[in-house]
């Protein structure tokens, strides 16, 4: 969430920069400024009456001591009136402040200056690539390989729950566990502290990271308790720092977490969502950093390098895309997507997004830090990335490593799998 101070002082700049996200902010900003003017007027009036009340309260005792009972009682009556007026002004002030907040959350985060122009994913900029694309003959897609080797049962998941909830079996389940273990160990080696967060969050947590009120239609809602199943571990892990003031020397804070993730994916259909390409429940290891604003883009580069190293160690062909203004998320300032190539489907599959949210989430979370030797607090910057999301990684591993003898296990996973070949 953009701060009220920034919006008021940089109205034209906000309007202009949000055009890159194809968002017309002019009307909302005009309303915010109008409501903020009301807020200031009401606050001034309330302060004036409070000062008058304080002055009167001090004189009442003096008037009684001076034998001026009538004047003292008249002053008491006036204080009662002032108290009621102040109460009404504060109630109005709260209404106006709530209205400003409702308008503020309608504004997306400002895109970084390096975000490319564009309307959709076709305009994203490929910034780097690596690995070799396998040249396979008669390659089977992962859903057929999953059936052939009894790794994943999509129909059983459909029976138990519904489409998008697969059941992993045997080597398939072990591959999942191996990847989770590998990703976590790599994150820990990179200095991230592992946490195991809840799989459900409350409204305050959903608001803090920007899922609410923007994406409630994509989350599973537990109505009886008003809780939401997490779409990513980013939500609970980042909310560890909601309403927290950190010391500058504590930055950056680095956390990683494995969790199941739940997404309704409303409106998703077609051949591109077959098999593991689009699920309602999937596993992911997330990395989250709370960074000093002066260093958050250095941190972003470090996180990108970490994700790249995971894909390279799995020996998958990869590319990195810088998302354009029309494809970047509501809350992000700059996002890089990682894709791996699927040899059988002959298409690129997204396996990670790494983003810098600058102070947008921190303002919603009230996440601040104190600079050394200062009492003033400043908004921190938040960043996160998938390191990695499993389904499409599994799809690419199965498809790219298929041989007549079986499916080769990436070398880095052999110690966790206990085999070099799934037969």
DSSP 377-398: EEE-EEEEEEEEEHHHHHHHHH
Would you list which residues are annotated within the binding site? 232, 263-265, 286, 350-353, 384
d(CA 284, CA 287): 10
Would you list which residues are annotated within the binding site for L-serine? 232, 263, 286, 384
Strands (E), 266-373: 281-291, 318-322, 334-342, 347-356, 368-370
Would you list which residues are annotated within the binding site for ATP? 263-265, 350-353
The number of residues making up the chain comes to 423
Separation in Å, CA 262 to CA 167, 196, 380, 385: 15, 16, 28, 17
DSSP 23-88: ---HHHHHHHHHHHHHHHHHHHHHHHHHHHHHHHHHHHHHHHHTT-HHHHHHHHHHHHHHHHHHHH
User: Residue 290: beta bridge partners?
Assistant: 253, 382
d(CA 173, CA 150): 10
């Amino acid at each position: 969430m953009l701060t009220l101070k920034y919006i008021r002082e940089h109205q034209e700049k906000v309007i202009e920069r949000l055009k890159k996200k194809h968002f017309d902010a002019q009307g909302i900003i005009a309303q915010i400024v109008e409501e903020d003017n009301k807020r200031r007027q009401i606050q001034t009036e309330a302060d004036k009456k409070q000062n008058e009340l304080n002055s009167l309260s001090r004189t009442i005792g003096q008037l009684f001591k001076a034998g001026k009972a009538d004047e003292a009682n008249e002053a008491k009556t006036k204080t009662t009136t002032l108290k009621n007026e102040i109460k009404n002004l504060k109630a109005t002030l709260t209404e106006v402040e709530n209205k400003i907040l409702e308008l503020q959350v309608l504004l997306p985060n400002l895109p970084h200056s390096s975000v490319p122009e564009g309307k959709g994913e076709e305009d994203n900029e490929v910034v780097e690539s690596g690995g070799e694309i396998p040249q396979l003959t008669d390659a089977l897609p992962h859903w057929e390989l999953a059936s052939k080797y009894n790794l994943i049962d999509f129909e059983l998941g459909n029976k138990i729950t519904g489409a998008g909830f697969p059941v992993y079996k045997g080597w398939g389940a072990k591959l999942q566990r191996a990847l989770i273990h590998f990703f976590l160990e790599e994150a820990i080696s990179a200095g991230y502290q592992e946490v195991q967060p809840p799989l459900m969050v409350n409204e305050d947590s959903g608001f803090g990271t920007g899922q609410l009120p923007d994406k409630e239609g994509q989350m599973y809602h537990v109505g009886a308790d008003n809780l939401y199943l997490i779409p990513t571990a980013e939500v609970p892990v980042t909310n560890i720092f909601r309403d927290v003031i950190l010391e500058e020397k504590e930055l950056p804070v680095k956390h990683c977490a494995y969790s199941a993730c739940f997404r309704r994916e409303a409106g998703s259909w077609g051949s591109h969502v077959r098999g593991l390409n689009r699920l309602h429940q999937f596993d992911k290891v997330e990395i989250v950093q709370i960074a000093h604003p002066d260093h958050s883009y250095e941190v972003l580069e470090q996180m990108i390098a970490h994700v790249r190293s995971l894909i390279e160690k799995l020996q998958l062909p990869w590319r990195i895309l810088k998302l354009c203004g029309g494809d970047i998320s509501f809350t992000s300032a700059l996002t890089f997507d990682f894709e791996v190539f699927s040899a059988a489907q002959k298409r690129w599959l997204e396996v990670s997004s790494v983003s810098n949210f600058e102070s947008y989430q921190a303002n919603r979370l009230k996440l601040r830090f104190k600079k050394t030797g200062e009492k003033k607090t400043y908004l921190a910057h938040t960043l996160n990335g998938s390191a990695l999301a499993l389904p499409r990684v599994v799809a690419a591993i199965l498809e790219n490593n298929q041989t007549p003898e079986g499916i080769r296990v990436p070398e880095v996973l052999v110690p966790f799998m206990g085999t070099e070949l799934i037969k």
